[in-house]
Structures are given as structure tokens and as C-alpha cells.
Amino acid sequence: MKLKALHSGIIVSEPVVVMNGNDCLKLGVGLTDRVRITGKTAAVAAVVISDYVSEGTAIVPGTLLLKCGSETGDELDVAYSEPPESIRSIRKKINGGKLEKEEFDSIISDIMAGNLSEKEIIALVSSFSINNSELGEIAYLTRSMAETGAVLDLGVRPVFDFHSLGGVPGNKITPIVVSIVASEGLVIPKLSSRAVSSACGTSDYVDTFCDVELSSESLLKAVRNTGGVFACGNQDYAPVGEKIIKAERPMGIDPRPTMMASIMSKKVALGTTHLLVDIPYGKGTKIPDMESAKDFSDNLIDLGTILGIHVECAVSRADQPIGRTIGPVLEARECIEALENRGGDFSVIDKACGMAGIILEMAGERDGKARATEIFRSGRAHEKFLEIVEAQGGNPRLSSSDLVPGSVTKDVHAKRSGLVQMIDNPSMVAIAKGAGAPGDTGAGVMLLHKTGDRVNKGDVLFRIYAENQGKLERAIDSARSRRPMYVSEDPVEPVPESMIVRRIPSKEMLDLIRFRSSGKE
Amino acid sequence: MKLKALHSGIIVSEPVVVMNGNDCLKLGVGLTDRVRITGKTAAVAAVVISDYVSEGTAIVPGTLLLKCGSETGDELDVAYSEPPESIRSIRKKINGGKLEKEEFDSIISDIMAGNLSEKEIIALVSSFSINNSELGEIAYLTRSMAETGAVLDLGVRPVFDFHSLGGVPGNKITPIVVSIVASEGLVIPKLSSRAVSSACGTSDYVDTFCDVELSSESLLKAVRNTGGVFACGNQDYAPVGEKIIKAERPMGIDPRPTMMASIMSKKVALGTTHLLVDIPYGKGTKIPDMESAKDFSDNLIDLGTILGIHVECAVSRADQPIGRTIGPVLEARECIEALENRGGDFSVIDKACGMAGIILEMAGERDGKARATEIFRSGRAHEKFLEIVEAQGGNPRLSSSDLVPGSVTKDVHAKRSGLVQMIDNPSMVAIAKGAGAPGDTGAGVMLLHKTGDRVNKGDVLFRIYAENQGKLERAIDSARSRRPMYVSEDPVEPVPESMIVRRIPSKEMLDLIRFRSSGKE
């Protein structure tokens, strides 16, 4: 059936075509059916019926029109489209069946092609049960996902990687970890992501001082020249993960099996052989307690074994922000200052050197943390950092003073004297987002005190940065309606000895020994 | 925000409000957010954004407007609506947590109130894994569902029931089973449903000769006077099941945990104490093989034990249609003819007497099938049937000759001589639906031969009935594009000894013995 594309000003989360009821009858399609619409190219959309649309015309969202290579007023061919075959596999999975690699391939390629609705993707991700013995299926899913994008072939082994599950604000350690590890001559092509629901992702703050969107060639070249990168990789490597997250986000779900597949598929695509996973645990993170952290680690390590990746996990403290800043420019500045000054907030330095140390041990070093700390304190990490910045198109003489946060600020003062009892991560994130982060790169929060500090009434507890007064007001409102920091005379537990609470090594230490005796070192 | 309700001619599967982007900005809502719209009453809907809609107005589907007690042109109040609390429980379940009764109550009441989207319902039903030890949770879900509608209190015990999982066309045994069982003085308030995807549900053919939509009072009265009914019950008892099925249908899923909860919730609401479940197995049914049938039975029996219902299962043949007709009037006629003639097609009589026999044995009878057959052959079942028909507002002198199928027919002839090798159920259903069943009650298919019959070239294999030429043509097209019946000289397995292939008794036979010695008999 030929229909004239009408007005494209409809925004929906998924492709739909709004058609007149009589046209639907003629075409033999009903609500929730799929139609294939063809202009210069073809695309699939769900049918919505409205007598608001005259016969012979169809309302098509702009993004969909673009996909068809058409514009408003063009004639489109509209035809019934069979539901994709892969729905059968999703049904099978929901009904308790086990899926084969080919079935995951077909599902994943339909997700990539936009043939499955968000409802169908949600059904798939909900049908996994981590309690089941499904690791083999998750490995299939991981491999299918890894095959949806580019594959990085560095031609060297081992390839190290570092991944944080996130959930703790201010976690600006990635460039430091990468710089330390690469200083030792190890290869660590670290690809991060931008914020999903947080105030600032690694790529958001790195983007303020060098390029994060690297082409495959630039990435290869940067890694070959420097050993490491801290770039952004979501679009190129296992890009289907983004589409799955897009379907999950409105429901606020991120079930472990697909979360694991999403993480590991990128590592497979990057050729990772050794992976350290940072698992921040506690309020606001994805992992509520140590027991879950241990379970999750075991699952991830076992999945790694199936995929041929040596995985270790480090459970880390997340009871207050890492460092003293939240927001792109502020976090970039704090990170670079730490490298320049070879020191800084305990939580940043201890966590970065601790994580880098575990990676060094995975590579055969004896006392990794001491070695990592030495590299950091000697200034070698800073040199390596500037080398990588230059390889990513940044200024090789970059200084922390180049980074200037938003000019509109508001200090929040202590209402009484005492000890800072706690800093509420979700509140701090909400305030930074209220101020405009991560879109407004200069927006964010700086903590002048952290848990356990003694403050006097009237002292500045934290400072809100924004790029304009409107958003500053919004952040102030957000701060007022919450309890971001709490001061009282109650005693506070002393500063922890280490930011890494527990290390969960792979069961496959033999693998490491085998690697060491194979003589690559 | 006040918006004027525009034109209601939009048909969507779920409530939406289409708003101008600027109004959305002002209200602080985005795509997939929920808004509460209030006219005389309030309802919740999802936001869709379109600049096709002018500022200050909103397109609202007619059903939603009705729910708000408003009409086109009325002013509606539109406000942001927090996602319902029960989404947390759904998330918890997806992430592998176990839910409590209160959490299921909150989910089910949100489904009833229309507060959860179909996506959220799909996520819930997909998150159950029958392989897990989740029966306790399914029992909670069942009880929560049972509490969403009416409760039948007959004031007697035991209360028997019979349920078929469906999937085999022509399964017209329910009125016969109920009539036999009620003839023995047992109580069997059987509530059936209309066709979902089949050509004819039990309520569809019963509706051609008596009322199926009975009020609670009429139902109680009918059961008290006659011992049995064969009415329709989906709207009144555990009605939330329908809403869940509505969300599942477009995806073609019906996972076992929610299927079990859906079946059993109605039984709980009806006060059932003893339930026989017919499990047709094989192509086109929900149960592919004997192993699945056994698994499913075990699960259902165990769920019954938790709920205090004595469940038995009977796995039945579904390799060809039951009896010789498909479609409302045709099935009604065949059913009544069997009762009048005290005989008929083997598959109908053997299955009906076999099922009724098991129920009689659940009630303490020694050789149930022999007893059931005796009741059927003696004409007592026919008398009881007419009594029930009258109690359901039908003609107590009802005759099979009162039922006249569609007047437009087409005979399909054998193209060669030989033995009927097989009859394809899905093809026969498609032909009957093509002819207009179940909406056109006179439409359907009559089989003049069944598997194993010898036919000569040119013999009529089956006859299509329709109420008009257009639909007859559609059915003929459907028959031509398929292979509904296949004739060749290959040998065919002989007619089975029994339609019930396997009986899976409850592990709780003690329960039965206890009941028998308690003296109700």
C-alpha cells in the first residue's frame, strides 16, 4: 500500500507508523503488528491506529523517515512484516529452554537491525536467571554481542583491561591506573563510557582534556605507541550493548546476566586476556553487600574462564565519593593534580595504586601495590599520562590549571560543629546533575570535607559549581530537599586502611603461571 | 498543567497521552514518563511527544478519556506521576530476588489499576523460571490473583473442577464431562473461556444454546440446583489473568509459571478442592512431548498441594481434532448429538468418559471410567445436561437439530485414493478462522473422514461452512495454501485404545482417603 508520509513531529521511544483505521483494514494489519515501510531504503515499525490521520497518509517519526531515506510528503510503501524469527528463540528462553549460539546470533542481529521491540528485548533480559546454571548461554550471548561491532587486533598478548561496575561518584582513577600499568610496558587499551544515570562517566571528564572518540586506526596507533589509552568505546565495540541498555533504562533494570554479557562482550571485542573488575559495593551501587559482591565475582570469573579471559575482582569501598570532586571539569582537574603532585586525596591515590597493583600482579609482579605506588610517586605515571593525552590528540603540556570549572558557585555551610558523619552519594549525584553535569562540563560539586573531618559551624562543607544561575538554583533546591552531608558529635570510624576491601582472584591461577613460564615477560 | 483533550481517535495497546514538546518541558516530563490525567476521575498514561499537537492540547485515546469521565474538548489536569512502587518488586525479581506475598499483592493490584505498562508485565512474567524452586512464589502470585475478583462460596465440600490446557481443536467434551459428574451428585461449577487464538473455545459453542455469562447469583443458584454449570468466568473470577494475557498475547508468550498461576487463581476463587487437568500434548498444543507433560503435571500438582487443592493430570492425544467438527454451532451440534444418541465419534466419547471417570475416582468411585460410560449410555448424562441448560437460561427441550451451521459451504475432495495419513490441527484451525469462526458462529469445518479412514479419489474429505461467500473464499484460500489432510497408501497406526495416554495422580492420595473417611459421601 502506498501512503504519503505526513508531518514527522512525533517522538516515541520506538519506531511506529500512525495509520488510519481503514488503511489498516485494507492492509490487514492491526495494533502491535509490524509493517515494513520503504522509501529509498526499508525499515520496520509498529502500527498505531488513529482516525486523526486521513486515509492515504501516515505519520512517521523523523528518525524513522531518515532511516527510510525519505522526507515529509514522500510516498512510502507500507506492507505487513512477519515478526522476526528470533522471537521464537526469546519465547523458548522464557519457557525455560536453553538457547544455542545460533539462536543468540539471530536475536542479537535482530536487535542490531531494530527488528525487535523494546518489549521483546525486556522479555529476553528478564528471562535469564543468574541462579540457574546458565553461564554457557551467557557466554554464547557475550560472543554474539562481541560480533556486532569492530574487533581490535593489537597482535600482542597479554592485553590487560580494567573495568569498574560504577555507582560511586567521583571515581576518577582510570587515567591513573592506565598510566601506571602502561608505564610498566604492559598493554591496556581501556575504553570507558559516558554517564548513563550518573553525574560524570570516565569519558565525560577525559573528554575535557583530550579526544575520547578515536577511530580504530587512531586507537591502534595510540596503544602501539604508548601501551594504553583511556578512550570511549561504546559505539564501535559490541555496540548492541547500548541498544539493550536503552530498552532497560526506562524500567530501571540491569539484570546481572545481560550486564555481565554487556561488559564481557566489549572485552572479547578488544582481545582482552586479563581483566580486573572493580566492584564498588553498598548504597547506590549495583552491589548491595559483600555476599552479592562475592557471588557476582564468582560468576564473572567463571564466565571469563569460558571465554578464555583471566578475570580477577576487587571489591572497593563506596560509602562516600572517591576524591573530592564530582563533575567533568572538576574531576579532570583533580585527576591531573594528583598526577602532577604525585599525591592527593587518600581515596583516589590508594584506590588507583591498589587497582594498578593487582594488574601488575596479574602480569607477574611480586608486590604490585608497592610497585604501582613507586611508579606513581616517581612521576613516571604522570609522564606516561601526558604521552597518552598527546596520542589522544590532547596537549602534551597539559596542566591541571587549564581546567576551569563553572563560574557560578554556591557554598553550603555547616549548621553546627562536629564530625562529618556521612556523605550521601545519591544526593551528591543529584546535586551535580541539578547543576548541569555532565552536559555542562563545568558543573559539579567539590567537597571541602569528607567523612570523619571535624568542622566548625559555618565552615564550608561543599561548593556547588554551575555554568549559569538557573541551574545553580536547581542544584541548591536539590541540596535543600536532601541530606547530602551530616554533621554531629557522634564518633566516626577511622579512615580505612585500604580502599580495596577484598580481592577475589581467579580460580585459574595456573593460567597465570602458565603465561609466566611461556616467556612473554 | 491544564490541557484541552483533543480528538480521541487514536488506538494504542496501552494508555498514552500525546503532548506538545513544550508542554512536556514545562511539566518536566519526557518520553516513557507517566502522567496522571484527571477529568472527573483520574487515570495514568505514558507520555508521547509530538509537535503535531498544539500547545495547551493533548491527544487522548477514547478508552482513556472514558476512564477519566471526560470527552473531547474537556479540560484535563495533567501531572507527573511517580512510577508505582511495585516496579521495585519486579526489578527485585528480575535481579534474582524472592518476592513475598505483599509484593505480589502490590504488583497485582497495580496491574488491575492499569498502573503497570505491558512492558513491565512482560518483564514480570519473563522473570519467572520454572526450573527454579519458585513454587512458593507462584503460590503467592496465585493467591494475589485470586483476590482480584469475586469468590464463589458454595458452602459445600468437595468442589470438583475440570480444566483443559487446550491446543487441540474440536474439544467439545466439557458439557458431557460436567453432566456425567453432576449426575453422580457431585458439585462441578465449571467456568470456561472463549477462544483466545483458537477457532472455538468452550464458551463460544455453549453460548449458541444457553447463556454463558451468569451473574454470581445465577451461578450459585444453577450449581445448587443442578450440581454443575458450563458457564464463562473470565471477567468475574481472578480477572487480572485477562490483563496479563493481554500483555503476553502480542509476543505470543505464555510462560508456565504465570500460566499455572492464571489457571489456579480461578480455581482458588471458585473454592475448588479437587481438580482434573487435561493436558493435550504434541504439535499445536502448549506441551510438546510426554516429558514436558510430566514436568508440567508435577509442577501443577505440587502447586495444588501448597494451595490445598487436590490436583490430578491426564495427558491426552491431540494428533487430530477431537470429534468431527470445529466451530461454535457445529461443535454444539456434535456435542448434543452425542448426548442424544448416547454415542458418537470415539475421540469424543472415550475422552469425555475417561476424564469424567477420573473425577469420579477422585471422589472415591472404584472403576470410574466404567461408571462414567454407564451414566453416559443410560441417558442420565443427557437428562442432567438439559437440566443445566435450563438453569443457564436455555431451552430444556433443546435438540441438536436446533443448531444450524452456516448455509454457504464448500466440499474439499480427495485427490487420490488411500488412507488418511494425518489431519493437521493448525491448518484446520486456520481454515475455520478464515471462514469466520468463532465470531461467525455458523462458520467452521466438518471432517467427513479421520486419520486411518480409507477414502477413494473424489470422496469428500471435509466440508467448510461459512455465513457468507467472502469468508468462504478466504477459508478456501487458506485450505489451498496448506496441507490440512494428507492421503496416501502408506500404512497408518491403528486407532488408539484410549484418548487418555497417561494419568498423573497427585502424590497426596492420602488426602483423598482422609476425605473419604470424613463421611461426606
pLDDT > 90: percent of chain A: 63
Q: Does A49 touch chain B (CB under 8 A)?
A: yes
With CB atoms and an 8 Å threshold, state whether A91 touches B252.
yes
| Torsion sign (Cα): B300, B301, B305, B311 | positive
Please give the full DSSP string across B182-250, using - where no structure is assigned.
Answer: HHTT--EEEEE---SSSS--HHHHHTTTS-----HHHHHHHHHHHSEEEEE-TTTSSTHHHHHHHHHGG
ipTM for this model: 0.74
* Nearest chain B residue (CA) to A51: B9
Catalytic residues of B: 254
Point out the residue among B50, B130, B251 whose CB comes nearest to the CB of A119: B251
CATH of domain A160-400+501-517: 3.40.1030.10
- A32 and B13: CB-CB below 8 Å? yes
Question: Does A132 contact B130 at a Cβ distance shorter than 8 Å?
Answer: no
Best of A253, A254, A478 to mutate (most B CBs within 10 Å, chain B): A253
Residue A6 has pLDDT above 50, yes or no: yes
Cell match 586507537: residue?
A219
Concatenated DSSP letters for A279-296?
Answer: EEESTTSS--SHHHHHHH
Whole-number pLDDT of residue B519:
47
Residues in A touching B52 (Cβ below 8 Å): 7, 9-10, 59
User: Chain A contact for B252, CB < 8 A?
Assistant: yes
Which chain A residues contact residue B127 at CB under 8 A? 126-127, 129
Q: Where are the domains of chain B?
A: 2-81, 160-234+262-400+501-516, 405-488
Please check whether residue B11 touches A, CB under 8 A: yes
CB distance from A256 to chain B under 8 Å?
A: yes
- Mean pLDDT, chain A, as a whole number? 90
Give the CA count within 13 Å in the CB-facing half-sphere of B290.
6
Residues found in chain A: 521
Interface mutation target, options B6, B7, B8, B12, chain A, most CBs of A under 10 Å: B12
- Closest of B351, B319, B311, B345 to residue B176, by C-alpha: B351
pLDDT reported for residue B131: 59
- What per-residue confidence (pLDDT) applies to A476? 95
Chain B hits for A22, CB-CB cut-off 8 Å, are none
Mean pLDDT for A388-410 is 97
Report CB contact under 8 Å: B253, A91.
Answer: yes
Contact B91/A at CB under 8 A? yes
All residues at 6 or more sequence positions from B450 whose CB lies less than 8 Å from its CB, including other chains:
B320, B324, B345, B347, B420, B423
Q: What pLDDT is stored for residue A508 in this prediction? A: 56
Give B2 to chain A, closest Cα distance, Å: 21
The residue length of chain B stands at 521
Which tens digit of pLDDT belongs to each residue from A87-123? Answer: 999 988 888 788 999 999 999 999 998 888 888 999 9
**Is the pLDDT reported for residue A513 higher than 60?**
no
> pLDDT band at residue A21, thresholds of 50, 70 and 90?
confident
Task: Tell me the CATH class for B405-488.
Answer: alpha beta
Catalytic residues of A, by residue number, are 254
Average pLDDT over residues A463-488: 94
Q: How far is B286 from chain A (nearest CA, A)?
A: 10
| Confidence (pLDDT) at A411 | 97
- What is the CATH number that goes with domain B2-81? 2.40.40.20
A132–B contact, CB cutoff 8 A: yes
A211-A214-A217 Cα angle (round to 5)? 140
Tell me which residue has cell 541540596. A479
pLDDT given for residue A294 in this prediction: 93
Q: How far apart are CA A137 and CA B246, in angstroms?
A: 30
* Contact assessment for residue A365 and residue A344, using Cβ atoms and an 8 Å cutoff: no
Q: How far is B476 from chain A (nearest CA, A)?
A: 18
Under 8 Å CB pairs connecting chains A and B tally to 125
Q: Name the band, by pLDDT with cuts 50, 70 and 90, for residue A197.
A: confident
Please tell me if residue A21 touches chain B, with a CB cutoff of 8 Å: yes
pLDDT for residue A500 is more than 70? yes
From chain A, the residues in CB contact with B126 under 8 A are 94, 122-124, 126-127
Q: How far is B376 from chain A (nearest CA, A)?
A: 39
In chain A, what residues touch B251 (CB-CB under 8 Å)? 87, 90-91, 119-120, 123
Q: What is the pLDDT of residue A510?
A: 47
The answer to whether B123 contacts A251, with C-beta atoms less than 8 Å apart, is yes
Quote the pLDDT of residue A32.
Answer: 73
pLDDT at B64: 85
CB-CB under 8 Å, B124 with A126:
yes
Taking the Cβ of residue A62 and every Cβ of chain B, the question of whether any pair is shorter than 8 Å is answered with no
> Residues A512-518: what's their mean pLDDT?
50
* Grid coordinates belonging to A369: 601495590
Question: Nearest C-alpha of chain A: how many angstroms from B328?
Answer: 24
Using a CB–CB cutoff of 8 Å, tell me whether B235 touches chain A: no
The CATH number assigned to the domain with range B160-234+262-400+501-516 reads 3.40.1030.10
Residues of B in contact with A59 (CB under 8 A): 50, 52
Cα–Cα distance for residue pair B374/B78, rounded to 1 Å: 66
* pLDDT recorded at residue B510: 47
Q: Using the Cα atoms of residue B31, residue B33, residue B34 and residue B37 in order, give the sign of their dihedral.
A: negative
B60 in reach of chain A (CB within 8 A): no
What is the pLDDT, as a whole number, of residue B427?
Answer: 94
Chain A residues in contact with B256 by the CB 8 A cut-off are 95-96
Q: Label residue A46 by pLDDT band (50, 70, 90).
A: confident
Buried b / exposed e over A352-382, threshold 16 CB at 10 Å, is: bbbbbbbbbbbbebeebbebbbebbeeebbb
* CA dist., res. A248 & res. A240, Å (int): 13
User: Does A122 reach chain B within 8 Å, measured CB to CB?
Assistant: yes
Q: Whole-prediction pTM value?
A: 0.81
Find, in chain A, the residue whose alpha carbon is nearest to that of B118: A119
Strand order in the sheet with B460-466: B325-326, B444-447, B460-466, B408-413
Provide the percentage of residues in chain B whose pLDDT is more than 70: 96
Report, as ranges of residue numbers, the positions in chain B whose pLDDT lies below 70: 7-9, 130-133, 234, 507-521
Q: What sign for the dihedral angle of Cα A247, A250, A251, A253? A: positive
Work out the average pLDDT over A165-189: 96
Cβ contact A164:A358 at 8 Å: no
Q: Which of A388, A386, A436 is nearest to A409 (CA)?
A: A436
**Residue A65, pLDDT above cutoff 60:** yes
Classify residue A395 by its DSSP letter. -
Let me know if A483 is exposed, middle or buried by CB neighbors in 10 A (0-12, 13-18, 19+).
Answer: exposed
Q: How many CA atoms lie within 13 A of A328 on its CB side?
A: 25
Residue A519 clears pLDDT 50, i.e. is over it: no
Q: Which residue stretches of B43-173 are H helix?
A: 62-67, 86-94, 101-112, 118-127, 135-146
